[in-house]
Every structure is written in C-alpha cells, then in structure tokens.
Amino acid sequence: MDRESGRRIVVAGGGSWGTALGHMLAARGHRVTLLVRSAAVATHVSARHENPSYLRGMPLHPTLDATTDMTALRTADIIVLSVPCQHLRGWLAAALPHVRPGTVVVNTAKGLEEETLARCSELVGAIWPETRYAMLSGPSFAAEVVAGKATAVVLACMDEALGAELRAVFSSPSFRCYSSTDVIGVELGGALKNVMAIAAGVCDGLGMGANTRAALMTRGIAELSRLGAACGARPLTFMGLSGVGDLMLTCTGDLSRNRQVGVRLGRGESLPDIVASLGMVAEGVRTAAAAWKLSRRLDVEAPIIEAMHDVLHGRRTVRRALEDLMGRELKEE
C-alpha cells in the first residue's frame, strides 16, 4: 500500500455516483464507508457487496462498508459529498454536529441551488466553514467507473498543495485525476452542461441529425464560457474535462439522465411523467431554472439556457424553441 492509500473516507450518498466512487476508492486501498439513507441498502452493500437500488448486478469491492449512522463522519479524513445539489443545504445542516474542523470535503454534486443560485462550494462554505473544499467533476458515467473503464476527471481546489494531494488520493490505474485551482469554473461547467444535455436530447428526440447536435454543443460551450466568465471563472477551464469533456459525454451518451429527459421531451412526453419514471436525479431540470435566473442577474446572453428553461416550464414547445434558436439575429461567431 503506497503513502496515498489508507485514508479514512466517508462517501455521503448512495446513488450511482456515490456508490461508484466508494467502490473505486475502496479498491484503491482506502477505508471507505458509504453513508446512505436506507438501512436495507446499507446491509445489502456491506453483506452482499452490491447496491440493490443503483448499479444493480455490478459487484462492489468487498471492503466497502455502508451505514446510515451520521456519526461515521466524525472519524473521516475526507468526506465525499454525493448528495444532490437541491438537497445539499439540508443535509449539510443535519450533518454539521458530526464534522470535525479541518476535514477535507470533496464535492461531486453538479448543480446550482434553485432558490439562491448558490454553487455547492458556497453552500459548504456557509454551513461547514471550518472544512477544506474541493470539487470533483468531469466526463464519468458511474457504471463505467465500476467496470474499470479508463476515465479522466478534474479535481478543483483553491489550495494548490491540497489539490495535488487529493489528485493522488483519487487516482487509480483506470481513473486519472487532474487538478485545477478554478473551483468556480469546474463547478459551473459540471452544472451548466446538464442543461445543454437536455437540449441535445430534445434535438435527438425531434429526429434532428448530427449537424444539429454539433451546433448545439458548440454554441453551448460558448454560452457556458460567457456565463462562467461573468461569475469569475477562467474561460479556458470550459475547454477542459469539466467543460467540453463533460458536455460531450452527457450530450451524446445513452447513460446520461439529462439527455434522456431531453429525448423524451422531444418525443412528446410530459416532464412530470419523465421525472416520475427516471428513478434517479436529473440535475439539469432544476439547474435550468437557476442558470436562467443567473444569466438574467448578470445580464449574460444565454439563448439555449433560456430556451430550455421555457420548455421545462411549459412556456414554449420544443419545436418552437428550436425554431427560435435558429431564427436569432445573424452575427459573427
């Protein structure tokens, strides 16, 4: 076991991504506990090495433990947050009594809080002010990580030395982790690309071709970069793994929940029916509203985000949204 192994890590959240990271980190040699809501899931993970609710049929590392007891957080060197963004504030408040000052927090949730437009780093900073924060993002389907397929992500931390340390902790032979100090850019890339993935899915659901998808993705990156720069991010960050990399995956991959939402909208299904049948979170649905509000607050042109906000709130049909985007005033790229 090398010097980066053997950390005490608690992964908060037993969904697909939390489970996949817990498996990967346990296989890396760390002492990992998955903190979940369901006692039945916790027992199944610990005893049978499988998550019965997510990634069913995929064997998990035998040393991965699971619990529902928040006191597990008290001994953690690193807390990995895999709690959906819209539920994060409440979860952080409930867990606060069990979090030691100085604990390292690695967030993986991608989104903006709909009511406040806060990024996850701002939520953690406000509720757990004595912790050290990093953000893990990038093109990574959970099932492929568990299957050991080569994956590359980025870990953003304002403390460059801590970022380099975490980069080594989270890397494995099949999971390559780069580091960055642009926390704002990495967070916004991960959040906003989900809105673009819904838009790409809508185009596919309408039967549009590869030309349409390529145009949507390219203009989507331009939109992400504009809005990110207005928030203080480095535009170049959006050309990396948390921007264009994650965008490519979620706009084209069949495992993308956000793309699935868009495809089904394009085929004429109602949003409530789609959300009810998914069985897991598609963050882009809530992020679209927050991103639209953010673009208006900062006076940033974001036509794709605005179109998806209107579609998701019943203000425009999917075909009208596409026509409006194509009919916008002609200008230089």
Report the C-alpha dihedral over residues 83, 107, 217, 261, rounded to 10 degrees: -10
Q: How far is CA 166 from CA 12, 199, 222, 225, 248, in A?
A: 17, 34, 30, 26, 25
3-state secondary structure 218-244: HHHHHHHHHHHHHCCCCHHHHHCHHHH
Residue 224, token pair as written in the block = 């992400």
Contacts of 204 (CB under 8 A, 6+ apart): 213, 259, 262, 263, 266
**Which positions are annotated as active-site residues?**
193
